[in-house]
Structure formats: C-alpha cells, structure tokens
Structure 1
Amino acid sequence: MTRLRRLALLAAGGLLLAGAGAVAVWQAGAGPDGSATAFSREVVDRNGRLLRPFQTDDDMWRFPATAADVDPLFLRMLTAYEDRRFALHPGVDPLALARATGQWLSSGRIVSGGSTLSMQVARLIDKRADGRSLAVKLREMARAVRLERDLGKGRILDLYLALAPYGGNIEGIRAASLAYFGKEPARLTPAEAALLVALPQSPEARRPDRFPDAARRARDRVLERMLEAGVLKPEQVAAGKGERVPVARRPMPALAWHAAQEAAAAEPARRVHRMTFDRGAHEALEPLLRERVRAIGLRLSGALVVVDHATGEVTARIGAADPLDAERQGAVDMARAVRSPGSALKPLIYAVAFEQGLAHPETLIEDRPSRFGTYAPANFDRDYQGTVPARTALQLSLNVPAVAMMETVGPQRFFARLNQSGIRPVLPRGEVPGLAVALGGVGIRLTDLAALYAAFGRSGDMPAMRERLDLAAPEPARPFTDEGAAWVIGDILADAPAPDGAIAGRLAYKTGTSYGHRDAWAIGFDGRRTIAVWVGRPDGSSVPGITGRTAAAPILFDAFARLGGIRPLPGRPLHLAALSNAQLPPALRRFGPAREAAGDTRDLVIAFPPDGVRIDLGATRGESEMLAIRAAGGRPPFTVLVDGRPAGRFGAQRQATVQPDGPGFTTLSVIDAEGRSASVTVRVE
C-alpha cells in the first residue's frame, strides 16, 4: 500500500470518527457545561489579590481562571503542545483523529485519543466520561462539538484553566501555581509554564511533591517540543532545564486569618469576599508581629490594626501573632478581644477637657500623692513630678493628673461621649463608670482604640471603620472632639518620649500597660494613618515586666516604617493660638478641683479665645472661617454675642462657633443661665 493511500485511509477513518461524533451530539442532548462546578471561596484585598482561600465542600483547591489571568507564554505553550489547531477546529480535529485512527487500526486499541482541548474539557466536566473506549471517545467528541457551539473558544479555554487536574486535591492552573510556586500564574518562567503544561496529562504519576524526577522529565519534554515548535529559544530551554522542580507543595495564602474567616462565615454563599485590607501591608506586618512577639516571651500573642484616615478603611487587621500556634492561643482574635487599656485612654480624657474649656495644655496641674474619696492612685514608677503643665502630665502619662482630669470631666459624661461615637466600653457586671476608668479600669477592643485615635488624625471626627468593600457603604464619621482639641492632643503626643532606637517627634503615640502587666498597648498616628498594637497573653495571665513602651511601642514604630514611613502631622489650625500659661485666663492657669455634674459654680470666663489675641481666620484674604469660642465656669445653657448681637446658644459642651463680620476688632460675650457674663476682644485677621 502506497504512502498516499495510507494517508487517505487514515484521513477517511478520522472523518468517519468525526462524523460519528457529530451524530452523537444530537443523540446525547444537552450535557454539563461547567456552570455547576463548585469553586473555592476567596477572601481578597482591596485590589483583588488573594488573602485567604477556603477548600470546596469536596476538599478541593479549585479556582476559576481566564486567559487574562495567565501568562501568555503558558497559553502559547499549552496550545502548541496539546492542540495546535485549537483556534481552527469545531471541537474535534480531523487530522488528530486520523493519527489516532491509524494507531488504533494498527494496534487494535486506542493509543492516542486525538483529544483536543475542547474534548478534554468535555471529559473534565462530564464525570461519566471515564475510560478510553471508543464509546467514551465518541461521547467526548459529541460534548466537545456542543461546547464549541454553546460556549465558544474563550469559555472552553477558561474551563480548561479552571478544571485541569494537577495532582491530589489541586485543580486548575491558579491552584497549581499557588501550590507549586507560591504565586499567581500571571507571570511564569518557561520552566514553570512547561511543568504546568505537562502535569495534567498524568497528574498523579508526575506530582512534583511525590515524583520530582518524573515531573522534571515531563517538563523537559515540553521544553524540547517548544523549541521544535519555535515557541522558545535555545537559551530559554537551557535555562528552563536548569531550574529546580518544586519538591513540596506550598501552603495556600493565609493572610488576615481571623478577619477572612469571619467574613466567610458571615456570608457562606458568597464566593468572593472583597476586603478593604491591603495584601502588601499584611505581608509586611504579619511577619513583623510574629517575630517580635516570639522574641518577647513564651505563650504571648499580639494584634495589630491599621486605619486609613481619609476613608476610615481598615487596611490591615491581624488578630494573632501566629494563628496556628496553639501554645499562643492563636485561634483567639485579640484585635476584637475586650482587654484593659491601661493608660491608653488618657489622651481621650484630656481631649474632652481641652474641648470643654476645663483645661489647657499649659494649665498647671499637681502630680502629688492625692486621694479622691477612697481612691488613691499612684504613678507607675511610684514617683511624682510636682507641679507640671497638663501637656507634660500627658506626655509622661502621670496617673494622678489623669484621675483629676477624669474627675472634672466626669466618668459618666466621658462614657456618654464614647457611646455617642459608637464605642461601647465594657465594665465589670454591676459597676458604673468611676475614676479608675482613667487608668484602665474598663474593657475595650483594639479596633475601638484604633478608631478613637484615628479621630485625632481626622480633626476630631471618628471614622466608621470599614473592612468590607462588597457590602453597603459605611456610616458617616461621628464627631468625638473638635479640631482644636484633636490637634493639641497630636501635638502633645508627638513629643512623647520615643522607644529606644526610634526618632521622636515624627509620630504622635501613646502607650498603655494594664494592671498586673497583662496587656501592653501602643497606638500612634501620623498625617495618614493610625496603627494600634496589643501584646499579651490571650488567657489574661500576667507577664512580668511587660509594658507598652518596651513590648508594643517598638512594633508600632517599625510598623510605620514598613508601610512607607511617617507622613507629617497636620499643621496648627489657623484659629488656634499658641499661648503660654501667663497668657491664659486666670481660671485656666492652674487646674482646680472637680465641679458638679449639673453645672459649674465658678465664675464664668471665656477659656478661648484669650482677650487681646490675634486670630487668623483668612478674613483679610476674603475667606470666612468660623471662630471657636469656649466657656469655663458658669452654668449652662449659654448665650453668645458677637459685637453685642446674639449669635447662638450652646449647652453642656461649653463651646460654639461664630462668624465674625470681617477683619478687625471683634468683641465676644457669653452669658450663662444665671445671668453672669464674660467678654473678650480679639483681632480677626
């Protein structure tokens, strides 16, 4: 028989098989199209990058994929190796079938099925298509032709990329690339692409983690074929053969462990959960927290939260130093756990006092052994500083001044302020807010502290923290304090002593250590973000010697450095004058005793602005910023007048904003509920 006649017979056989397959299309009816395939659920970051996936109900790692998700080199190698005429045939390749028919006629069995990618996809989505018999092949051809007609080339290729087997419980190129190379398949080396082309042909026998030599040989055959096909150059093939084959599977990404699990559990039917987190931030901060906490001591855990000021979005939330470490109780999400904040609440108390005109940063306050009823607080180091400015008292975290400030603000009013901002601190059962709250006698979450400190970086407005991008828009921000008090707190905390090796003055921060050295805190903010850190034992046991300054603060400063450095804090508001103690009204020069909650029996004074001060409101430039006015003493409600004309009323908050007529001298007056009055004259510029 001549060569030409043999080719003709083979072609005829191929066409007969193709025709049989086409007839079978109509007999088989509509079959599965892959739409019912279950894929792994994914938790992704703000840019769609994978944070943590979850196995399917049948314990598979399987992700949808499209040609756009994959390195173009892999696609060229795949079609050149598996189906050179993929773009041309209708699902069945007559020339490939002719070759397969010749092998069948000469050997009496099916040696090569002449499978196209379309036929392979038909087999992958039709679980009944098992075996290598002629009936199975006819069924594959039937399904392939129907898939081509119903889905088209692009969808068929996507199904192959999602369903091709890669050994064990790995299906699809994304799962394979993550498992064997630890990365998405968007960028692959020629060697990596060749391995991923070779594995689906015999996924169990060529598994790199079990049979690396077989995997290497299969990969190298693909590389050689690609050289013959002109897809790769000789130097690429040589370099590819020199690459090592992975001998173990890598773990799937497991970033934002607790937050991801929480999101997936809240909506189990949703396949993709898109968070506000940034994968790069988690990749930088999770190793930092894990390494630092391990170096501090045994059975310790840690938590860290990052909040973006502009949006209120949480860009990182780490609930444990090592979620898989049972000895450190890593399963407990300490970012959401209720713990004692130690001194971390002090800036919030001072902010309320400054805002209400009860004190000023330059107000002198006593740091001496004192008793508040039956409560006698002492400083952390059992030492006392005597008379100091309120600014210094907060920077040094002195306890007696903080308790005195809390007594004046009022624990109940302070709690009401927190509740108005959406924060729900936790007290022991049956107790009411007391002075001990100032030193950590209350429970609060790290996420709540992060939101409260973020208010200082947002001119006093506390953001509605947001972690999900795929849910409804967040609630609007809630005011915690005013712009002036927020800026003053930042200015004070920026001068707090920095931990060893860190540069002071660039980051506003405060530490806290709970009673018995159970919790170490450090919360800081710059001009862009707030970061909050907690270190301790999840079971609440004591850790001798641990403090916020030594354990949490170094992590805080390094976290800012790893996220790209520190952005400058905002400048002083134009309406906020810099005053010395001597320039303050007499009532604010020295901190006095506590006042009654119903009112203040002291003489009424205007705490801000001081008499005779110049205030830049932009009036000379045609701008019209509002002027803040605060009252101290007196009994609310108050009436405020501008140049003798009523300009509004305000109550227990003891502050208001007014609009001066323009540049020049303006007289501001306040009248309280008992008819007492106070006035100042300022120059508006």
Structure 2
Amino acid sequence: MWLLPPVLLVVLAWGLDRVFPLPAPPAPATRVLAEDGELLRAFLSPDQTWRYPIALEQVAPVYREVLLGYEDRAFYYHPGINLLSILRAAWQNLNAGEVVSGGSTLSMQVAGMLDPYPRTLTGKLRQALRTLQLEWHYSKDEILNLYLNLAPFGGMLSGVESASRHYFGKPALQLSDAEAALLAVLPQRPSDWRPDRYPQRARRARDKVLQRMQALGLWSQARVEAALREPVAALPPEPPLLAPLLARRLRQVCPSCTELPTLIDAGLQRQLQSLVESYSARLDERQSLAVMVVRNRDRAVRGYVGSARFGDPASQGHVDMTSAIRSPGSTLKPFAYGMALDRGLIHSHSLLLDTPRYGLRYRPHNFTGGFSGPVTVMESLQRSLNLPVVQLLEHLGADSFVAGLQNAGLELQGEGVRQPNASVVLGGVGSTLESLVGTYTALARKGQAGAVRLQPQQPDPDRWLMSPGAAWISWRMLAQNPWRALGQVSETPWRLAWKTGTSYGYRDAWALGVSPEWTIGVWVGRPDGSPSPGRYGRQAAAPLLFRVHELLPESSQSLTQPASVSRQTVCWPLGTLESQSHNHAGNCLQRHQAWLLDNTAPPTLPQAPDLLQPALLRAIWQDAETGLRVAPGCRAEGQKLEQQKIALWPLQAEPWLKPEWRRDERLPTAANSCSRLRSTAESLRIIGIEAGSHLQLPPGRTALEVDLRARGAQGGLNWYLNAEPLPEQPGQGLALTLHDSGDYRLSVVDASGNTDSIEFSFQRSDTGE
C-alpha cells in the first residue's frame, strides 16, 4: 500500500510530461564556412539571433572550467535544483537588502531559456518543474551543451561560439583565460556588461570571476594576475562578410541547413575582396565585376567574388555575375583551335587567312577593323583575330563545335545552340563565368573539363574536351607574356596562358587565365546588359586577371609536354613539313617552328570548305631550254619537257605578299604556242601610281589628292590602305587623299578574288614637315 503514492507520483509526472513536453531548442543560425572552418558569412536564426551551433569538445576547456567553477560547482551532482545554493542566495539577498545572487543552477537557467517564465512565485515553480523535466530527458553533458548554445551574450548574440566570434574574432576553442572569464559571467547581465559598449563594467565583472577562481583554489595567483593584466577589447558584434553571394547561393539551395561547408580559402578570399575593392575604383558607378579562382587539381573554388560592391544599388551589387548568362565574346576560340588540332586540320603554325571574305555569306570583322593577310594559328589565337577562326570553324563544323563544348559540360544557351553557325565562336551564344572557368581547366588537366566544385561533397567527374596533346599546344600558344608588348622584360618565366574576350557592343569584358595550378576567370561589365563603351577584355579585365595571378602561390613545376607533341619545321605557303619532297626547289618561302600533334603537319586550309579555289601546289611542264610553261597538248615536236611542282599562296593573301611571292611571279611565262595557258582576261592592275613611287606634296597644299583606277576588274572593288579598308567607291576608281608622310601599301580586290597591290611613299615637303 505504501508503494501507491510513489507510483501515482511517477504516473502523474509521466502524464504531465506528455501533456506539457519540453519546448524544442530554437534553431541555430546558418553558417557558411571556409575549407578550414573559418566563418565566411552567417544568416540569422528564425528568432533573429546569431546562434552558432557548437559541441562541448569545440569549446576551450578553460571556459568550461571557469563556467562550472563560478556558476555551478555541483552541476554534475545535483538533480537540477541545488537547495543549498538557493538558501545561500536567499540569505545573501536578505543581508544586502537587494538581489545579489540568484541561486539558479545551470540546469535551471537552461530551463528558463527553453521556456521563459514570469518573475513571480508561480513562474519560479514552473521553472523548477521544467528543470526536473530537463534533467529527466537530458544527460548532464547534453544540458551543458544546451547552455553553451543558448546563453545570452548581449544584443543578438546567443551561445558562446557566436559571442567568441563576434567579440574576439576567433572560435570558442581558442579562448584565453581572461576571455573565458568574461564570457562566463556575461550571461548574468548581458546588456550591462557588453565589452564592445561598456569595457570598464565588463572588466570589473571579469576580474571578479578571476579573483573567485583564485579564492576557490582552482587557479594559482600567478595565472590570475596574468589574466588580470589582459585588457578588455572587443570587436563590434558584426558577422563577417566573406564571399557573401556564394553564401547566399548555397543557403538558397539548402535553406534548412545550419552549416554549409565550402572549399573557399578564407585568406585568399580576403585578398581578392580587397583587390576588387581597389580595382573597382576605376569602374563607373553602374559597372560591376566578378572573379573566380579554381585549383586545377580538384577544380575546387578557392576564391569567389560575385560583384564589385556587394549590396550597392547603382551597380546592382546583389546580382551574382559568376552565374549570369552573358555572351562570352572571343573566349571560346581556344576550344575551336584545340578541336581542330585533334581533327588533324591544323598545327600551331598553319597558315590562316585574315583577309576579306568575298563570295561568302558570313563576313565578320576583326575587333580593330583591319586585316593582316596570312597569319599563323598561334598569331591568330594570341591576337584574337575573328576571320581566321571563322575560316577554321567552317572546316570544323559549327554543329560539331557546339556539341563538343556541351559534351565537355560547358553551359550554352541561345539561338546559336539551337541552330549553330560560325558566329558561335565569336560569342553568338550565352554562357557563364563559372562554366567557362570549369571548361578552361581542361588546358591544365590534359584536356579534361568539368564543373567547378563549391563544396567538399561535390563530385569531380572529368568530361573529355580535347586530347592531352591538343590541350598542351593550346595552353602553350596562349602562354604569352603580356608585358613584352609594353617593352618591359621580366626575369620570371611566364607561366599563365590567358585569353580575353569582348562581347558585341562592349557589353562584357572577359579575361580567362590558366597556370599549371590555377584557373582564373574575370568578368567586367554592367549587370543590366547595357554597353560600357571603350571597355574591352584586354583593357578592362586582363589587368585584374594578372593581379589576381600574382596573389596565388605557384610551384616551379610546369605542365609536362605530352609524348604526342613534337616541334618541327614547316614551310609556307603549303604548311607541310620542310622534309617533304615538294618543299624543295624554292617552295619553302617561309619557315616556322611548329608544335605538331602526332607528327601531323596538315596542309594549308582553303578559305572555306565549299569555295572552289585553285590548288596551292601546282604541277607544271616547262621547256627544258627556254623555261617557258607549256602543256603536253601544245608541245612542239622534239621539245624536251620537265615537270615542276610550284607552291602558290592562296589568292586572298596576294595583297599582303612580297611582289616576288605573288602568283604571276611564281608561275613561269606561258609559251606562245600554248594560248590556253595564257589568260584571255586582263590582269587586275592599279593605274595612277607606279609601284615604288616617291610622292611629294606641292607647295601651298595641305593634302595630296590622287585619282586612281583599277584596270581589268571583274565586279565590285574593295580598296585597302596599309591593310585598313577604305570607304566604298563608285565604279572602278578611287579618290585617294594623303595627309601624313610615310610608307604606304595600296591594295585592291575585285568580286572574283583577283588582287593587286603597290607600295609607295609620301613626303609632305623636302624638309619632312
């Protein structure tokens, strides 16, 4: 019978526990962490506090020692309520005539944090019942852990980790003796003892705790005196703001996550944000920029800046431009050259044509507006010429190019994806900085591209873009020292392959760089897509790329040249190896040291795959005695013929060639008996100035006006002065006006591709004025 009351008490307690369960602990704030665990950015918890989750083992042992020694030495022995402490507190308050001690145990404080109560007798009873309930459900270590996460520390700070981070700028695991003492006492009066606002009050409260530790015999006098000498200094309780747009992005993907690890290097991120802050001073108020730094070996994103001025309304600083769809400009060109290397279409010094595209529907222009004539693949890529890469893409196939990029994981959008054409390689599609950076890593990863990794749990799958040899040659062609153009000489070997790009209308300026260890991407422009006149990749984005590269540590190891790559001498105009037989007998007009893939030296490509053009290697018959060109059908009886193979330049290159290299000079004169070998049409010739003329300005004139004509033209004419196009002229004439002294080359091309070119000089006066 005597067991009935205890049983009823237990049943009653169980029933009350079921009806009035303990409130769940409030949710913590969301923390976005760097690779080493440093806090990048935090987001407030639902109850609008900075509460960073932490476990017992993540707190400095000295803090637990001070907390238990000062607040609740019997914590591990009492059932949650310490009657002796309550009686002692009541006696102290009675003697003092005011409340000087509360007598609450740590368990009672946690119960009050979980279920706040009114400061009445009923409220105290409710707190006591909640404390017993808490002790029923949780172990002592779990209750202590709740205190570490819920205790108030002033303002919006809740929990010892947030207090340590905000006040001292370090995790709770690194607290000093003095800092631990201050945080142990601060929850008693968090608003009055905040170290950032009331350092003197905070110091008095801290010193009281330190002296208590000595009085209790827990710390030595020397240890306490050392802690007393430490000043009270606290940072304003503001959360860090490193990689804020990345943090926002990750939280949007997982809003319920309380901890979001990243692969960001916090130290590098600070340097990047400081660099961007200073660099953005040269931008106008509506311009923004983005920078991404990726470690090649695992495609880990180590630096991430999504806007120039985070939160700035004028430059739309809330827009993350690393993931914005923009026109990539010329940044896709290296992939076209890499794919062409793998297809056996080119080597590093193949002859390409930077010439007008007569008879072809697509006629883009170079960024500078002029033409350079015959150029090497390397020169075309380094100078980012448009016409040669369009020539190449038409042989490669726009469909094949787009499919290869998408297979490698490059994000592409727009009409150029649905109906690919040659404009794709000049920026006629949309992509993102993040996707471009991931694809550019292929140049340092043996042709294997892939998506960049923002978090440790993300996989790192490789996607084939090009062969190791093609990737190495592409990297080698782009690894040019930009300071050479400025006349500066650097003793340090240049190990960064880089490419710039500018989208139509100066809307986007790009710079991508790849070193053996890093891939860097930079975008500069206006987030709303409006133009930024005069802002192009080399001028607006490349300087920032080089400054970012200077921040990054590099080993002395370079990219290993694959066994499939060799360097051999090739000859122009045919583009094949010097060792081949038809390159003898004067056919090797220009020699180049070229990087070859699998010892393949493909011949020079025609301007377009569907354009009928005469072969560059012409087989002719000559009279052995006179040297005149004949044909077997018109040979005289007894005439001895010799066959010869002559290398000719593409017709479109003629205006840029030396006179002795042109077709008319290379081919022997046809014999009179072979009328079919002699063209019945008159050759295209410039009339009005003789080649090699020296013109002078007559006295009293400010400019020299010369009337010229083109004889033998077929169809419309296009005139060029020093490779720059002149305004269209009616008919067959040209009204040429010369203002400046100098050497000039005048060229003309008709609708059939026939060309003529002359060189002359002009002097304003005998004195050279």
1:392 aligns with 2:379: yes
Query: 1:102-501 counterparts in 2 under 5 A?
Result: 102-103=91-92, 112-127=101-116, 129-131=117-119, 133-229=120-216, 230-231=218-219, 234=222, 237=225, 240-246=228-234, 248-250=236-238, 252-371=239-358, 373-427=360-414, 432-470=419-457, 474=459, 476-495=461-480, 497-498=482-483
Contact 1:395 1:497 in 2 (8 A): no
Question: Counterpart amino acid of 1:82?
Answer: E
Q: Which residue of 2 aligns with 1:630?
A: none
SS in 1 for 2:602: helix
Distance in 2 (alpha carbons) for counterparts of 1:242 and 1:474: 47
Structure 1 pair 188–261 and aligned structure 2 pair: CA distance change class (3 A): same
SS in 2 for 1:581: strand
Which structure 1 residue ranges, 5 or more long, are not aligned?
1-20, 604-685
Distance in 1 (alpha carbons) for counterparts of 2:315 and 2:467: 41
Please report how far the alpha carbon of residue 358 of structure 1 lies from its aligned counterpart in structure 2 after TM superposition. 0.9
Please report how far the alpha carbon of residue 104 of structure 1 lies from its aligned counterpart in structure 2 after TM superposition. 5.9
Distance in 2 (alpha carbons) for counterparts of 1:215 and 1:381: 67
Please report how far the alpha carbon of residue 91 of structure 1 lies from its aligned counterpart in structure 2 after TM superposition. 2.7
CA RMSD, 1 decimal: 3.4
Structure 1 pair 371–314 and aligned structure 2 pair: CA distance change class (3 A): farther
Please report how far the alpha carbon of residue 572 of structure 1 lies from its aligned counterpart in structure 2 after TM superposition. 0.9
Q: Which residue of 2 aligns with 1:524?
A: 513
Distance in 1 (alpha carbons) for counterparts of 2:58 and 2:306: 31
* Pair member with larger Rg: 2
Query: 1:522-601 counterparts in 2 under 5 A?
Result: 522-565=511-554, 568-582=557-571, 584=577, 588-595=602-609
1:58 aligns with 2:47: yes
Question: Counterpart amino acid of 1:461?
Answer: Q
Contact 2:402 2:417 in 1 (8 A): no
Between the two proteins, the alignment pairs up a number of residues equal to 576
| Deviations 1:508-550 (CA, angstroms, capped at 9, x unpaired) | 1111122333222111112233121111221223334323223
Distance in 2 (alpha carbons) for counterparts of 1:371 and 1:569: 44
Q: Which residue of 2 aligns with 1:86?
A: 75
Instruction: With the length of structure 1 as denominator, give the TM-score of the two structures.
Output: 0.76
Contact 1:71 1:186 in 2 (8 A): yes
Distance in 2 (alpha carbons) for counterparts of 1:576 and 1:260: 43
Question: Counterpart amino acid of 1:174?
Answer: E
| Deviations 1:236-255 (CA, angstroms, capped at 9, x unpaired) | 646655524337322x1333
Q: Which residue of 2 aligns with 1:660?
A: none
Deviates more, 1:167-176 or 1:284-293: 284-293
SS in 2 for 1:407: helix
SS in 1 for 2:178: helix
Structure 1 pair 265–518 and aligned structure 2 pair: CA distance change class (3 A): same
SS in 2 for 1:441: coil
SS in 1 for 2:322: coil
Q: Which residue of 1 aligns with 2:501?
A: 512
Question: Counterpart amino acid of 2:111?
Answer: A
Contact 2:34 2:40 in 1 (8 A): yes
Which structure 2 residue ranges, 5 or more long, are not aligned?
1-8, 583-600, 617-769
Structure 1 pair 564–247 and aligned structure 2 pair: CA distance change class (3 A): closer
Distance in 2 (alpha carbons) for counterparts of 1:316 and 1:460: 23
Structure 1 pair 159–550 and aligned structure 2 pair: CA distance change class (3 A): same
Distance in 1 (alpha carbons) for counterparts of 2:339 and 2:14: 78
Contact 1:511 1:520 in 2 (8 A): yes
Please report how far the alpha carbon of residue 138 of structure 1 lies from its aligned counterpart in structure 2 after TM superposition. 4.6
Distance in 2 (alpha carbons) for counterparts of 1:60 and 1:601: 78
Structure 1 pair 307–519 and aligned structure 2 pair: CA distance change class (3 A): same
Distance in 2 (alpha carbons) for counterparts of 1:263 and 1:232: 48
Distance in 1 (alpha carbons) for counterparts of 2:477 and 2:462: 24
Distance in 1 (alpha carbons) for counterparts of 2:23 and 2:548: 45
Q: Which residue of 2 aligns with 1:97?
A: 86
Distance in 1 (alpha carbons) for counterparts of 2:422 and 2:224: 73
Please report how far the alpha carbon of residue 170 of structure 1 lies from its aligned counterpart in structure 2 after TM superposition. 1.5
Distance in 2 (alpha carbons) for counterparts of 1:110 and 1:243: 29
